[in-house]
Amino acid sequence: MMPPLRVDWVATPPPGAYPPRRFPAPRVPYAGPPSYPVPPRWGFPLLAWRWPTSVALTESKPRATVDRVRSLGRTASHVLGLVGVTALWAAGAEIWRYVLLLLSRHGALSANTVGVSDAMVYSASVVTTVTGAIALLFTLVWLRRAREAAAAAAGYGPSRSGRAVLLGLLVPGLNLIIPGSVAAELEHAALRQPATSRPRPSRLIRWWWGLWVFSALFLVVTVAWSFRSGTQALADGVLLHAVSDLLAAAVAITTGVLVRRITGLLLPIDAASLRRMRVIEVKNAPTPDLRTIRASGSPR
C-alpha cells in the first residue's frame, strides 16, 4: 500500500486583480509662474463689453432703425428751431422796415439807416430760405425712417408709399391736405393702435395742420400782393411779409415739437422714468381668514 501524497496548493491572484502600484512623481523645484513664448490665442475675444443687442456680428434692424430715428429727430428738431429763430429775425427786419416807412412820411431818412434795414431784410430772407431747405431735407429723411419704425412697431405697413407721400408734401394744393393725414397715420402707428381703427389726430397735430394750411394760404396772398403797385400797396406788402415770417416761425417751431413727440412715441419706454406705485393704505378690504393651527416648522 502506497503512502498518501502530500500536495501544497499555492493561490496567486490573477493579473489585474489589484491596481498597479503607483510610485510618486519626483518632486521638481519651483521654477516660477507659467509663461508663454507668444501671447495665448485662446479665451474671450479682445472686445469691450456691450449690450447683447449691440455685440459685433449681430444684427438688430428694428433697434438700429429706432436709433436712427432718434438721431435724425434730434437733428431735425434743432434745425427747425434754427429756422424759427431766423424767421423771427426776418419778421423783425420787416417790422423795422415798416416803421421806417411810417417815419419817412414826416421827413427824409438817413441813407445808412435805410441801407442797414435793407441788408437785414435781404440777409434774413437768404438765411431763412437756406435753413428752411436744410430743415425740409432732414424732416423728410426723418419722416421716412419714422414711418419704417412705426410700421415695425405696429405690425402693419403704412397706407401710402414713400413716393406718394413725397409727392403729396411737395405738390402745391396736395401739400395742404396730405401732411396732416400722414402725420395722423404716423402718430396712430407710433401709438401701436390697430390697423382697423381710424386714425384720430391729437390736438398738437390739429394745431400744426391748421398753422400749416393758414401759413401756406397767407404766403400765396403775400406773393400775389407783391405784384400790386403803389406806395400804400408796398407798405402793406412789407407788413404782410412780416406776418408771413411770424407764421413761418410758428410752423417751424410746432413742427419741431411734433417731431420730438412722435420720436418719443417710437422710442422704447425707459424703466428709470417710470414712477413706481406703493400701497399706503387699504380701505374696505375683507378680513383675512386666520389659521387656527400653526404647522410645525412654519415661521412665526
Are the C-beta atoms of residues 111 and 160 closer than 8 Å to each other? no
Q: What is the 3-state secondary structure (H, E, C) of 1-44?
A: CCCCCCCCCCCCCCCCCCCCCCCCCCCCCCCCCCCCCCCCCCCC
Query: Under 8 Å CB-to-CB from 243, ≥6 apart: which residues?
Result: 91, 218, 222
Query: Under 8 Å CB-to-CB from 97, ≥6 apart: which residues?
Result: 117, 118, 121, 238
Specify the pLDDT at position 62: 56
Are the C-beta atoms of residues 158 and 151 closer than 8 Å to each other? yes
Specify the pLDDT at position 284: 84
Specify the pLDDT at position 199: 87
Specify the pLDDT at position 59: 47
Of 166, 147, 165, 169, nearest to 156 (Cα)? 147
The reply to whether the predicted model has a pTM over 0.75 is no
Q: Which long-range CB contacts under 8 A does 158-161 form with residues at least 24 apart?
A: 158/185, 158/186, 158/189, 159/185, 160/185
The sign one gets for the Cα dihedral 264, 266, 268, 269 is: positive
Q: Return the residue matching grid coordinates 429775425.
A: 89
The rounded distance, in Å, linking the Cα atoms of 260 and 152 is 19
Distance of alpha carbon 202 from the chain centroid: 19
Strands (E), 168-267: none
Q: How many residues does the chain have?
A: 300
Tens place of pLDDT per residue across the chain (300 aa)? 556 666 677 777 777 777 777 777 788 888 888 777 777 777 766 666 665 554 454 445 556 578 888 899 999 999 999 999 999 999 999 999 888 888 777 777 788 888 888 899 899 999 999 999 999 999 999 999 999 888 888 888 888 888 888 898 888 888 899 999 999 999 998 888 888 888 888 999 999 999 999 999 999 999 998 888 877 888 888 899 999 999 999 999 999 999 999 998 888 766 666 677 777 888 888 887 777 776 666 665
Of 123, 125, 77, nearest to 252 (Cα)? 77
3-state SS class at 246:
helix
Of 214, 205, 209, 203, nearest to 247 (Cα)? 214
The rounded distance, in Å, linking the Cα atoms of 102 and 95 is 11
Helix/strand/coil percentages in the chain, nearest 5: 60, 0, 40
Show me where the domains of the chain are located: 59-267
